[in-house]
């Protein structure tokens, strides 16, 4: 993930100066969601799943058959309606698509306020 600029920019619009604050890198956190990191994780996983399905050229019905989901669930997944999907469920779908998922926990312990969750898709 690219490092975000932490400076506030000002620009003129209709004669008024407006402050533009750069995002944190997590739109869900910027919007104030309490579960922002989980939402970002699920969004990134769903995006990768959609890319893999598109690369394979599968229809929603073919995807359903190969992943064990029903077609309406595939539709929800591809449209970003992720409330019915846990991260574990998305990991399992990635496995069914032939991709391994690895979770790494840092060896160094830090203060809770200094920790973060990062998703790296490669």
Q: What is 54-80 written as a DSSP string?
A: HHHT--HHHHHHHHT--HHHHHHHHTT
Superfamily of domain 34-114 in the CATH hierarchy: lambda repressor-like DNA-binding domains (1.10.260.40)
Distance CA 90, CA 94 (A): 6
Share of the chain above pLDDT 70, in %: 87
Q: Name which of 117, 104, 119 is nearest 48 in CA terms.
A: 119
Q: Residue 17 pLDDT > 90, yes or no? A: no
pLDDT at position 104 = 85
CB 93 within 8 A of CB 84: no
Distance CA 55, CA 58 (A): 8
Other Cβ atoms within 10 Å of 88 Cβ, number = 9
pLDDT at position 21 = 83
pLDDT at position 30 = 93
Q: Quick one: how far is CA 86 from the chain centroid? A: 12
Q: Name which of 54, 59, 53 is nearest 96 in CA terms.
A: 53
Distance CA 53, CA 64 (A): 11
Q: What is the pLDDT of residues 71-118, one digit of tens each?
A: 999 999 999 999 999 999 999 999 999 999 988 888 888 898 888 777
Instruction: Tell me the pLDDT of the chain averaged across its residues.
Output: 86
């Amino acid at each position: 993930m690219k490092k975000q600029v932490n400076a506030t920019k000002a620009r003129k619009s209709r004669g008024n100066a407006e402050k533009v604050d750069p995002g944190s890198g997590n739109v869900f956190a910027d919007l104030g969601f309490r579960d922002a990191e989980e939402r970002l994780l699920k969004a990134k996983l769903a995006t990768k799943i959609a890319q893999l399905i598109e690369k394979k050229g599968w229809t929603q019905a073919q995807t359903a058959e190969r992943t064990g989901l029903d077609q309406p669930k595939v539709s929800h997944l591809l449209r970003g309606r992720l409330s019915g999907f846990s991260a574990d469920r998305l990991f399992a779908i990635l496995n069914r698509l032939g991709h391994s998922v690895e979770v790494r926990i840092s060896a160094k312990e830090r203060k809770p306020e200094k920790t973060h969750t990062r998703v790296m898709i490669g």
